[in-house]
Structure 1
Amino acid sequence: MPAYILIAQDPAPATDAPTKKQQAGPFGDPMFPMLLMGLAVVFLFILPMRKQKREQQQMLSSVKRGARVVTTSGIIGTVVTVKDNEDEMTIRSEDAKIKVLKSSIARVLGQEESEPAKA
């Protein structure tokens, strides 16, 4: 029986077939889904939070004496004093005066109507 031994083999013929990387395109890259998730996080969470924080800061900076406000704890009152350089204000609710932080103001209901003069 003859024994066949392969000593050398001819190289494969050169073809113009694209490689796997070229076939996959940009959507086959494993970084593409991670990039999409990063963009989704930015547009769904970070940008709306920045906008909300900016609106909250504008609202707090526009609070003036006489404005009706609601605190985060649910207290409704009228602003008595506001100091620009401090982070606290005094509000009046019925017969009580309460000193609260500006950051605890949840929303401004509007300006209080001036009380009619008693005759």
Structure 2
Amino acid sequence: MNLSAIISVLAAEQSSPASLAMTFIPLVLIIVFFYFFIIRPQKKQDKKDAEMRDNLEIGDEVVTNGGIVGIVFSIKDDTVVIETGGDRSKIRVKKWAIAKNETIHDGDAK
């Protein structure tokens, strides 16, 4: 091998850690972006929704994910019975299906 080939190989080996680091910096920035702007806010919203479902009370007006509006009639471990319509029909739904509590309690007004 000639001297210029050896020098070029050594130069490539010396610059590769820096170029490797420069390659991963955008990837790390994308991961940080996703965490702070997508994953973290979603976890906060999930925690807020779970707290809302845990604090349901009989008589609260709720809306399900399917758009059914009703008043909470009874609450069990993981299900809620709601009254809907003028004929007071009752529907049993899972707690995770409750999308919104439209009743404002004294402590909720901010």
TM > 0.5: yes
Aligned positions, number: 90
Q: Which amino acid aligns with 2:67?
A: G
Any runs of at least 4 consecutive aligned residues in structure 1 with deviations exceeding 6 A, and if so which? none
User: 1:100 aligns to what SS in structure 2?
Assistant: strand
1:11 corresponds in structure 2 to none
Alignment of 1:32 with 2:5, yes or no, is no
The TM-score with structure 2 as length reference comes to 0.72
1:36-72: CA deviations, max 9, x gaps? 1110111121101101100010100010100000011
Name structure 1 gaps, 5 residues minimum: 1-18, 112-119
Name structure 2 gaps, 5 residues minimum: 1-13, 105-110
The TM-score with structure 1 as length reference comes to 0.67
Please list, as runs of the form range in 1=range in 2, the aligned pairs for 1:51-90 lying within 5 A after superposition.
51-83=44-76, 86-90=77-81
1:2-57: CA deviations, max 9, x gaps? xxxxxxxxxxxxxxxxx7579x69xx621111111110111121101101100010
Q: Aligned equivalents of 2:92 and 2:15: distance in 1?
A: 68
2:8 corresponds in structure 1 to none
Indicate the structure with greater helix content: 2
Matched-pair identity in %: 30
